[in-house]
Amino acid sequence: MIHTKKVAGRRDVHYSSLDELLADAQRCASGNVRLLGNWSPGQIYEHLARSMDASIDGFDFSMPAPVRWLMSLLMKKKFLYKTLPAGFKSTAKFIPEETSNEAGLAALTKSIERQKNERSRVPHPGFGNLSNEEWEAFNLRHAEMHLSFLVE
């Protein structure tokens, strides 16, 4: 198991739109990439899809209100506008089984379309209520962190 907080040589990735994210994911899926983390490209795409879908469908967990308040006050801007740190432990629902690049990319593509076409969003489990624009920023920062582990 790779300690992802300490991985060197990750790509410097920044997306300004969901379309840019999808284009990069497609490029990585079709090319020869070297994996620097613990998940395959298909698993990364599936994880991102599940996270995006949960922003519409809901999460099965939430931080206590005082924690959400502190996270919103102290961490929200960083998580929306700066690179997310690697090494965060996810809940089991968001840890994907091994899946093919094609299946993971198909799930991500579908989730990105949902993000573009469905306007309702649920509260973030750590930050509480986010606007659609803030959700998109969070999803882009989340994707940047994970896709930085795929080096062409």
How does pLDDT run across 24-43, given as a tens digit for each residue?
999 999 888 999 988 999 99
Query: 74 in a domain, yes or no?
Result: yes
Using an 8 Å Cβ cutoff, are 50 and 112 in contact?
no
Res. 22 pLDDT band, cuts 50 70 90:
very high
Query: 135 in a domain, yes or no?
Result: yes
Domain of residue 120 covers 26-151
pLDDT at residue 14 tops 80: yes
Phi first, then psi: what are they for 134, rounded to 5°? -70, -40
Query: 3 in a domain, yes or no?
Result: no
Q: What pLDDT does residue 77 have? A: 82
Give CA–CA dist 25/11, Å, rounded: 13
Work out how many domains the chain is built from and give that number.
1
Query: 2 in a domain, yes or no?
Result: no
How does pLDDT run across 80-105, given as a tens digit for each residue?
888 877 766 665 456 778 899 999 99
Query: 80 in a domain, yes or no?
Result: yes
Query: 4 in a domain, yes or no?
Result: no
Q: What pLDDT does residue 86 have? A: 79
How does pLDDT run across 129-142, given as a tens digit for each residue?
999 999 999 999 99
CA separation, residue 5 to residues 69, 88, 100, 152 (Å): 26, 8, 25, 20
Query: 12 in a domain, yes or no?
Result: no
Q: What is the CA radius of gyration of the chain?
A: 15
Query: Which residue bears the tokens 């599940």?
Result: 50
